[in-house]
Amino acid sequence: MPKFAANLSFLFKEYPFLERFAEAKAAGFKAVEVLFPYDEPASEIAWRMQDLDLEMALINVPPPNYTGGERGFAAVPGLEERFRRDFKRALRYAEFLKAGHMHIMAGKAKGVVALETYKRNLAWAAQEAPNMSLTIEPINPHDMPGYFLDDFDLAIEVLDAVAELNLGLQFDAYHAQIITGDAMAAWERYAPYVRHIQIAGAPERHEPVKGLIDYPALFRAVDDSGYSGWISAEYMPKTRTEDGLEWFRQAQSA
């Protein structure tokens, strides 16, 4: 049976951030992820997770949040020094929270120079943090125009070129559906590279039900593949988070 985590940057937003951990636990989740936890002291987050017996599945790099900030710098030529500085800060945060993965965001860039910059920065990060699992995630160009990593084949090209054991693919089924038109086929093709999974309904990014993705079938395929990591719910609830968790209860009892 798949293991599900709650993305607290998307779910339980009816509550102040630090209260969302307890709400996730009460709903039955055993792990959480937070895209950008840096506005809160790491010690406060760690204490709440320890008290609730929750795991931190993943955090994003770089530290700044989406409010007026860039979506990463890893592929942006000329910002190598900033990337390295922000990565080191994020790594300290991730290690303190015992995060399972760090998602390295590429940022907005295009072209051959950006590709080579991306590869060099990822290779440096993998060597800087040899004991940390690092991920890269293709993000569809509709949701994030101009984002460098907007294609799964490009992600595989990069992973093969960097060839570091602690660097892998973050498979967001919602983005896979929008990018490729077939999330299940994308899973079957790219599963060997996958370190972490995220889910949301397509095309509207609500609860993972009644959309273009057959999630019961995808969950079975993930189980059959031997994947043992977390599947994180990263969607925008239509109403209150608790009112839309029937998919979670059904998946747990399947």
In angstroms, how far is the first alpha carbon of the chain from the final one? 8
Q: Which of 116, 234, 242, 246 is catalytic?
A: 234
Tallying the residues shown for the chain, one arrives at 254
CA–CA–CA angle 35, 41, 42 (5° rounding): 65
Residue located via tokens 């007026």: 68
Question: Which of 155-162's residues contact partners 24+ apart within 8 Å by CB, and which partners?
Answer: 155/190, 155/193, 156/190, 156/193, 158/115, 158/118, 158/119, 158/122, 159/193, 161/119, 162/119, 162/122, 162/123, 162/126
Q: Which of 137, 157, 188, 204 is catalytic?
A: 137
Residue located via tokens 């490729």: 180
Catalytic residue check, 137: yes
Catalytic residue check, 44: no
CA-closest candidate to residue 129, choices 107, 156, 102: 102
Cis ω on the peptide bond leading into residue 62 (within 30° of 0)? Answer: yes
Which residue numbers are catalytic?
137, 234
